[in-house]
Structure formats: structure tokens, C-alpha cells
Amino acid sequence: MVVAEPAIARQQLPKIGLGCGVFSGAYGPISHKDIVGVIRTALSNGVNMVDTSPYYNDSEIKLGKALQELKAEFPRSSYRISTKLGRYGYHKSDFDYSAERVVSSVAESMRRLHTDYLDSVLCHDVEFVDMAQIVDVTLPKLFELKRSGSVRQVGISGYPLDVLLRIAQIQYERGYPIDVCLSYCNFNLHCQRLPDYVPLLRAAGVKTIIAASPLSMGLLHQDAPPDWHPAKPKLKKAVLQCKKLIRLHRPLNSTAHDISLAKIAESFAFSFDSVDLHLIGAKTSAEITCALEAYKQAQSLQLAYGGRYPDDDTQKIYEQIRRILQPFSDYTWPSPPQDA
């Protein structure tokens, strides 16, 4: 008997993963019901990678509980789980990249997520600790776990691209190239630094490059960004100017009346196809649906490569937004911050 493939397997999967940092409450409260709804909507539409971390409060626990509730609809083999280790709090003193903690952290994550293997485990925010600790202790132990089968892919995550690249290069030189490299807030409407690093990371043997946070950790969302957002006041003021521009100038008799800064930001970011995956967060099923619509639109618009909106009203608003944010295209905030 020939068994038909699931619908998800037959269609081309979107290059989108679900970031579960929002389950921590850092972007506002979220209920278990909403989490289940977000995951169900994501998996039903081919978004089959979920990303979490012990640092995100009880995100792993909430994600694991929701996946257990949905296991009849979505068995473990239908999605990939990525989590992290090394960072367990805000301050540098809350980091532990020892070999012993690698083993215990992986075991704890598997317990919380109700799985006997993890598809990816990333060293979380590698810029906070001495690089020698990462390459001489942490990554060798992670590669041991990869050989044992409990971890399928080994990776790194962080904000400063030069730090990520140097670690990838060291690993390549040592014959243990990084499987996954996750960079966040480095390709969006206000920052386009990632394209310069993608070919360098590929040359260093990185198999999967993930661009996280197309909305720059909520800065480009239509709502106000979280109080803790690290961007400097000048950038926040420029983003606020973009939101006011949209409210004031979108014509009611045009398709431009339905736009928002978040939609423009996602359409721009998702058109950058040199990465393997774009990682988004969502508090509601509607946000996942909107992101998927933006992803589909991005493939035709190709804004990151000079593409245009088909209607002039939206294009004019988009061009004004790009001019407002252009001065920040190479701007980054300090990481680690001074108070870490």
C-alpha cells in the first residue's frame, strides 16, 4: 500500500521558524491556550522549527507542554526543536559554559521538552564569555553529544557578527565546523549588516544560517517596543517617526490603507534569501498568519534586492521609511551591555 505524504511535505516549506522567546512573558503575558494556538497554526502551515532557550524563563516548559498536547496532530518527527545553553540570566555571572553544565543543560532541556533528542543546541550569546571557553570546552563537549545522538546539530548564537564569524572560522580550522549560526537583529529595516557576513560564514563551513527577529525585538512592531529594548533613543525616535508617517499618509482609497510598519518590515526581511531560515516570534495565531502572508508577499516583491510595491502609494511610504532609517543601517548597540 502506498501511503500519501502529508500536505506539509508536498508543498514548499516557508523558510520561517518559530521563536519561542515570547513565551517567556518578556513581550507581555501569553496564556497556555494562546501558545497552543500559535504552535498549531505554525505547524499546520509548514513552520516546522521551534527555537527556545533556558534563558527565556519557562519557555521550554511551556513549549514542551504545548507540544505534548498537540502530539496526536503533530508527532515529534514532524518538527525540529532548537534550544540553547550557557546563558541562564541577564548578568555575566549567570553564564555557565562548563563541560558539566553542557551535559546537564541538554538533559534538562530534553526533560522539559519531552524528547529524547534535540535537533539543534546553540551556545547562547557567545559574546558574553571568553572565546577560548567556547571553542576549547563548550563546543568540544557539544560535539561529543552530537556523536552520541542526543544532539543532531551544534551551533552558536549571538549579536556581534564578528564574534560569531571568528568562532566559526576557528571551528572550521579545527575540523569541526559549526552546523548552525543564529544572528538576531542584523537584517531588518534599520540594519543591513548580515549580507556582508553570509559568504564569510559559508566559507567557514556553516551549514545553516538563521536571521532572527525581523521586527528587531519588537522595535518595528506597530505597538510600542518593550522598555528594555537596547536601541539608542535616536533610533527609537526614527522608528516612531515611521509609524506616524504611515498613520498620516496612507490613502483610504488605496491598498496602502492596510499597511503597517510590521508588515513592511517583515516583507523586507523575508525577501533576503541568502539565509536558510528567518526566525519570528508570535503571541497569537493571527501574528503567525500575518507573517506567512508577508513571507509570500516578500517572494514576489524582493524588497531587499531593490524590488518595488506594485502600487505607488505604498511604494512612496516605503521609500520614505527607508530614508528615515538609512542613517542607522550599520548601527549596532553594545553587547554585552555595560550593566551585564
Digit-coded pLDDT (tens) for 42-87: 999 999 999 999 999 999 999 999 999 999 999 999 999 999 999 9
Chain centroid to Cα 210, Å, comes to 7
Q: How wide is the angle at C-alpha 51 spanned by C-alphas 325 and 229, nearest 5°?
A: 35
Which pLDDT score, from 0 to 100, does residue 254 have?
A: 58
Distance, CA of 327 to CA of 186 (rounded, Å):
15
* Alpha-helical segments (H) within 70-179: 99-113, 131-133, 139-148, 161-173
Distance, CA of 279 to CA of 35 (rounded, Å):
16
Element spanning 64, H or E: helix 59-69
Amino acid letter, 169: Q
Ranges of residues in the chain whose predicted pLDDT is under 70: 1-12, 250-257
Q: For 291-312, what is each residue's pLDDT tens digit?
A: 999 999 999 999 999 999 999 9
Active site residues: 56
Which pLDDT score, from 0 to 100, does residue 192 have?
A: 97
Helices vs strands, H then E, count in the chain: 12, 10
List the grid coordinates of 292: 506567512
Q: In sequence order, what are the residues at sequence separation of 6 or more whose Cβ sits closer than 8 angstroms to the Cβ of residue 47?
A: 13, 14, 16, 17, 18, 288, 292
* Alpha-helical segments (H) within 272-311: 285-301
Q: Which residue has the cell 497569537?
A: 284
Which pLDDT score, from 0 to 100, does residue 222 have?
A: 86
Which pLDDT score, from 0 to 100, does residue 14 have?
A: 86
Which pLDDT score, from 0 to 100, does residue 259 have?
A: 86
Which pLDDT score, from 0 to 100, does residue 92 have?
A: 95
Which pLDDT score, from 0 to 100, does residue 129 have?
A: 97
The phi and psi torsions of 155 (rounded to 5 degrees) equal -155, -175
